[in-house]
Amino acid sequence: MTKIVSLYNNKGGVAKTTTLFNMAVYLAQVQEKKVLLVDCDPQCNCTELFFCSADNFDDPDLPLPGTSIYEALQPRFDGDRARVDVKDIYITPSPIYKNLSILRGDINFSRAEQYFSIAISQAVTESIHDKNTYAVMSRMLRDLGALHGFDYILCDVGPSAGSITRMTILSCDGVFIPTAPDRFSYQAIQGMGSIMNEWLTRHELIIATFDPYGIKAPFTTPKFYGAIVNNYKIHRAGKKKGSYLKWEQLIKDGIVNLLLSGSGKKLLPNQQSLLSNPFVASIRDVGAMAPVAQIVGKAIFDIAQPDTVHASSDGDYYRGAVWADWVTRMDEYRSEIGKIAAAME
């Protein structure tokens, strides 16, 4: 059975796409799972990262291969079909990673905001069209998973509380919340509890109306898989700087008290231990490794020594102690991504 997962924070800059891409490579490469990335963000950053390792990626005359998410869903938006036939969707294998494919993003997918927005508003009524549009994302992901035998479908979403993101998150089995140890992430966590509650409350209301119309609701209720703290910096002694620890504690309290606990809270933790410690991974600032990984289109933990030529100023790749430090940092990073993967089991 395919597990559908996303990373969500309506705040930007918390490494959603980077972490998701690295999770996908980890699951496909290290755990040899069959993985599909779905780029649900009209910014298409995940698609860019996925394809940039291809030799001909920079040729502007070559269109990206495969079906885009907007093309896949368009028959439903146009009202031509009750549901999308996933046999018509061509997903694209990774240029460099076995077991990893993508349903690529599309800048035009931003048009789906209005379709999903209307569906969220009208699907509770007798409108079959809007019920089918409300269900289309979840149906498509689950049908793709069944058709191709994916172990995991990882959905990249934009930093918003808009209707595309909402329908994607509601289509998932679980969601991680990536954060950064700063005031703005704490601010975002404070608002996320009411957003998720509102989404899940209306979701329950809407899917309860499906059965009388003979529509099978293709949803599970998304659970909280854990939070991830990103981009912290450490002292030379190897300890997290105190200022980061203070924000981390506030965010932890915010997740536990505002998102998961209290009467009427709809987002349930996947494991009870998350109520006492919601963080499943703690990822140190990756410094120059991130831009190099973006140049070569690889996972951060999979940068090869020759790839560091892109980081050096003298045109040579890193050697000796400098490269050894990169290897240590990559091992640390892989280990944290492994913890995220373990939290999905």
Partner 1 sequence: MAIPYTFVSLLDVLGYKNKINDDRHNGKEDFKQKLESALSVLNGINETEISYQAISDTIIVSTHPSTPFPEFLRTLVRVHRSFLKNGLFIRGGISFAPHFKSGSLTYSHALPIAYEIEQKQAIYPRIVIDKNIIEMMKPGEKLEAATIEINNEELICKENGIYFLNIVGKSSAECHSLAKSIYDSEKSFLEGNEHELAKHRWLQNLIVALSGATLTPYMDGVEIFYP
Residues 328, 229, 25, CA angle at the centre, nearest 5°? 60
Name the nearest CA neighbour of 41 among 68, 77, 74. Answer: 68
Q: Largest alpha-carbon pair distance within the chain?
A: 69
Residues 16, 299, 33, CA angle at the centre, nearest 5°? 90
For position 121 contacting partner 1 by CB under 8 A, the verdict is no
Mark the segment that binds partner 1 (CB under 8 A) among 87-95, 98-106, 184-192, 208-216: 208-216
Applying CB under 8 A, among 54, 64, 83, 312 the residue interacting with partner 1 is 83
Mark the segment that binds partner 1 (CB under 8 A) among 109-117, 122-130, 260-268, 323-331: 122-130
Q: What CA–CA distance (Å, rounded) separates 80 from 74?
A: 9
Q: How far is the CB of 135 from partner 1 (least distance, A)?
A: 12
Residue closer to partner 1 by CB (options 209, 220) is 209
Name the nearest CA neighbour of 302 among 336, 325, 327, 338. Answer: 327
For position 213 contacting partner 1 by CB under 8 A, the verdict is yes
First to last CA, the chain: 12
* Contact present, 234 and 242 (Cβ < 8 Å): no
For position 223 contacting partner 1 by CB under 8 A, the verdict is no
Binding mask 126-165 for partner 1 (x = CB under 8 A): xxxx--x---------------------------------
Burial classification of residue 167, based on how many CB atoms lie within 10 Å of its CB (0-12 exposed, 13-18 middle, 19 or more buried): buried
Q: How far is the CB of 127 from partner 1 (least distance, A)?
A: 6
Residue closer to partner 1 by CB (options 126, 204) is 126
Applying CB under 8 A, among 63, 149, 212, 242 the residue interacting with partner 1 is 212
Binding site for partner 1 (CB under 8 A): 81-83, 125-129, 132, 212-215
